[in-house]
Amino acid sequence: MSDAIDFFTGNGFSRLTGPLAEKAREFDATLEKARNDAGFSPKGNLREPVITAEFPGCPTDLPINFLALPNRQMDYCLIRIKPGHGFPEHVHGYGDEIYLVISGHGKVRIDGELYDAGPLDTFHQRTGVRHEVFNPAENEEDFEIFAVNTPAVHQDLRSKFWGIPVPGATTDAEGRYHHDESPVR
């Protein structure tokens, strides 16, 4: 070996041996096949979702099947918030979130401060900072937000651990959260 690059190239994890080495190679091949079978494509369109996560009054569209990428580093989606609906105040325990308003008008509250939100407005929710987003009932159009989360969270864990509700969030009989439009809580 002439230099450090030669030491790593073709060695180490590229040359597995031992009783489970073949199983590891089979697993990698199975995972790659599953990813291909899941229909992953690196191109998508916000108006043609391939998967929708159904939240009450807030269908959340995935333009690309990133769920087929278990080692991804971010998640992203188009949140379509119907009038009178929204996500309750919550925090993310281990990641940031960015909102980019695509269309409509609504409200975003970050750390107690209420903001009006319209097309092309952007918002940054830091790890551990309480926030909520909603479309006031008097609006007539959907409030659409493109959201990006880092790090990515496996879908089986997202509902339980990603959005941690702030105590006191209440819903009506239709599952709509009551959002206080006062500037500070």
Residue 43 falls inside a structural domain = no
pLDDT per residue as tens digits for the range 71-124: 889 999 999 999 999 998 888 888 899 999 999 999 999 999 999 999 999 999
The reported pTM is 0.78
We report the CATH number of the domain holding residue 73 as: 2.60.120.10
Q: Is 135 left (phi over 0), alpha (psi -120 to 50) or beta?
A: beta
Query: Looking at the 3D structure of the chain, how many domains does it have?
Result: 2
Domain region containing 20: 4-37
pLDDT per residue as tens digits for the range 43-73: 999 999 999 999 899 999 999 998 888 788 9
| Residues 107 and 117 sit within 8 Å (Cβ to Cβ) | yes
